[in-house]
Amino acid sequence: MESAKKMKERAGLIYETLDPIYTHEKTALTYKTPFQLLVSTILSAQCTDKQVNMVTKDLFKKYKSPRDYVSAPIEELEADIRPTGFYKNKAKSLKGCSQGLLDLYGGEVPASMEALIKLPGVGRKTANCVLGAAFDIPGVVVDTHVKRLSLRLGLTQNENPDKIETDLQKILPKERWRRFSDLLIYHGRAVCKARNPDHGHCVISAYCPSRSI
């Protein structure tokens, strides 16, 4: 088992190598308010940010508040978000989340993890996305890319996203939590892909235990 010190050193080298390469935008999702970002993040599950932005361009003109999502017929909302995939579950999540916002927080998106995860359809990943981009609150976002790269890079031995989040928090300074997540996401999309990681063109391959597998 590698020591925490060694793991911190490797995480730091990975961060410093990737940081100059990828955009510093906190999200590729298009939004104007924390609520719009929350909606977009829910829709982004198993869907590209580009596709979500295409859908929300019209969606945000039609649905302006949590009350609009609550009052919309479920079939109509499903049709409006259908191109994002898994539209039935996402429509339920949007309705549940919107109702929760109205019931618990007066329709406003709260700026804390504890409050956000009380909303139906909102887990820690979604909450961290919203907190980091909308409120500048540090957090580790564990999506499929972050999970895959964290395991490949030997930064965790866990498969559970919540445990991966905790593992990364332990080896990174708090101010780097969100940026490190973004870097792994961008690098996962561009180079370290699920089926064929491109070790030959990977700038962090020297720090990757899986390169010899």
Note the pLDDT tens digit of each residue in 121-164.
Answer: 999 999 999 999 999 999 999 999 999 999 999 999 999 999 99
> Which residues make Cβ contacts (< 8 Å) with residue 154, sequence separation at least 6?
2, 7, 10, 208, 209, 210
- Confidence (pLDDT) at 77: 98
The tens digit of pLDDT for each residue in 3-28 reads: 889 999 999 999 999 999 999 988 88
Has 103 been annotated as catalytic? no
Mean pLDDT calculated for residue range 174-192? 95
Has 95 been annotated as catalytic? no
The rounded mean pLDDT for the chain is 95
pLDDT band at 213 (very low <50, low <70, confident <90, very high): low
- Measured in whole angstroms, the distance separating CA 101 from the mean position of its chain's CA atoms is 20
Question: Alpha helix locations (H) across 44-153?
Answer: 49-62, 66-71, 74-81, 87-105, 113-116, 124-135, 144-152
In which element (H, E) is residue 5 found?
helix 4-18
Mean pLDDT calculated for residue range 52-73? 98
- Confidence (pLDDT) at 3: 84
With a pLDDT cut of 70, the percent of the chain lying above it is 99
Sign of CA dihedral 17, 23, 27, 29: negative
Catalytic residue selected from 95, 125, 147, 167: 125
- Give the closest residue to 190 by CA, choosing from 13, 21, 16, 11: 21
Judge whether residue 119 has pLDDT over 80: yes
Catalytic residue selected from 80, 95, 143, 167: 143
- Under 8 Å between Cβ of 155 and 167: yes
Entry pTM: 0.91
- Under 8 Å between Cβ of 142 and 160: no
- Confidence (pLDDT) at 87: 98
